[in-house]
Structure 1
């Protein structure tokens, strides 16, 4: 995972990881175990009560009491790669192996806002700028992350470093932090930091399937292969494994932080949506 600095902010000078002391854990309560009718790969919280889930062929709006509030049958989309939901209720969808970015409106109408042609659309997220989104675009040896308006107008391309070397091999997921850093799950590249670095083998990620940034600037990383959620600070230093198999995390996929800082997680390869309240503040 790599981070791009929007304004080339100065990196905090530290070589040490922020590791938790023995017994420092986050007390959690699983409020709800929601069972969508189809496996859900990605989730985007609407508020502290509801979230949209991207399932195979459908978008479903569920609440923490396992109620299906709304369902949208997708138009010609077989497998959803990622979703992002605005405060206006607009849902942005990317498709596995697809080349279009679709927007679903509150009346379920679908608008194709962009055709990325040869580039496959992957991760998508909202930004701090109203009506802006970030999208990961993949093509062999020429991948990039783009910033565009919710109407599909291109605003910025993030593709090369100062030496004009390509930053990405395969950008999978993207998020924007509170300091406007763009955080990307990637296979290859150089940014302000890389997590984990070569000295952090203990924290190695085995198949990352999602990232989210909270309102303190911490970054949560879904580590599907190791059945855990990493918590790192905004400078890439490990804090702790915030959720593990002890918290019933099994093959976690997409995740989202709601307006109260609570976690929605596609768990058990998406067969469950679990909603966690955090009783103890982040360390």
Structure 2
């Protein structure tokens, strides 16, 4: 063994001795993370909160007032068993739509040319006859409290301001346009309006179907000016079904989505405010409840979507992304049709054949 070999062996032994002197391995155990419930009030005390502000949306080119902090952060759980609070008898043989003013007053429409305003104690407060004497196809209430209704036969939409609404004991004479002084907002040609709703910005959304039942679309109006038409998806396919006897109702969600109950398609079709398809809800997966035929539709302050099911006497509740949450199957509902929520998120449901409006607490 030469001198260089001796040096190599010496270095190897030295390193080997160093390895032998390393301390023994230690076992390290990790405790499971246990999350603690966040106390929202204490968190606000520590870091404060940002007050509501106006957000400019470039795509839609308008300023949208953000919702109050409480409505963003408060997520009231759904009740295991919804509660029937009260029943209102309207006297209609066939009851269609319902729309609320605040917490305690509600407009209703049905078979006949009179639209009625009740309080939820059952007192008839006011009554309006349609300008033409035709049956109103659908009704809504503006942010200022004015009544808006569809005249299906005349292809028109009318607004009645509160000062022109007559008390019951001063009902206007039949077909008396002078007494009512209603304002015609929209008069269509080639299209017939089927349903409507008022948006958070007081725009008017109208679901309409073309002559010869070839096309269906949603049109946004600001005042009497058409701003937007929603009809096709990104592949050029129709978003909504076309059928003369089809029930089509719509509403706007708190995130500005437009939600349509499309009876013939057996689906709730939800698009963004820009008209982009977000999802189609066709009922919960693995359901044993039978076929799904949506009619009435509404949303609440938390963004939940509620729709009536004509084939089954109950109501579907889903979140704003189309996830099924729960049914409302109790409260003795019979042929539920029109839906709306009041300022406290109580649900108002019309029953088509009984002529009743039922007030239900579900959250």
Using the size of structure 1 for normalisation, the TM-score is 0.82
Match of 2:255 among 157, 164, 179: 179
**2:116 paired with 1:43:** no
Deviates more, 1:138-147 or 1:164-173: 164-173
Deviation of 1:27 after TM superposition, in Å, equals: 3.4
Instruction: Point out which structure has higher relative CO (alpha carbons under 8 A, 6+ apart).
Output: 1
Q: Which runs of 5+ in 2 are unaligned?
A: 1-58, 60-78, 166-180, 271-276
Higher Rg: 2
Q: String of CA shifts for 1:134-163, please: whole Å, max 9, x gaps.
A: 1101122221001102x2210100011222
Matched, 1:235 2:235: no
The equivalent position to 2:214 in structure 1, one of 121, 141, 147, is: 141
CA RMSD of aligned residues (A): 2.3
1:112 to 164, 176, 184: 184
- Supply the distance in 2 between the matched residues of 1:135 and 1:270 (Cα, whole angstroms): 28
Alignment match, 1:218: 304
Counterpart contact for 1:267–1:273, Cα < 8 Å:
yes
Q: Give 1:253's match in structure 2, choosing from 337, 343, 355.
A: 337
What residue is the counterpart of 2:65 in the other structure?
A: none
Q: 1:154 aligns with which of 201, 226, 239?
A: 226
| Post-superposition offset of 1:49 | 0.6
Say if 2:82 and 2:360, in contact at 8 Å, map to a contact too: no
Give the deviation of 1:270 after TM superposition: 5.3
Residue by residue, what CA displacement relative to the aligned partner does 1:100-147 show, whole Å, maximum 9, x if unpaired?
A: 111111113311111121211112111121x30111011222210011
Q: Are the structure 2 counterparts of residues 219 and 68 from structure 1 closer, same or farther at C-alpha, using a change threshold of 3 Å?
A: same
Q: Do the aligned residues in 2 keep the contact of 1:251 with 1:267 (CA within 8 Å)?
A: yes
Given that residues 77 and 95 in structure 1 are in contact (C-alpha distance below 8 angstroms), is that contact kept between their aligned partners in structure 2?
Answer: no
Instruction: Name the TM-score, length of structure 2 as normaliser.
Output: 0.65
Contact 1:113 1:152 in 2 (8 A): yes
SS of residue paired to 2:357? strand
Q: Deviations over 1:205-261 (max 9, x none)?
A: 54432100001111010112211111011111111112x2x3110000101100110
Change (3 A) 1:241 1:193: same
Cα pair distance change 1:197/1:179, threshold 3 Å: same
Match of 1:19 in 2: none
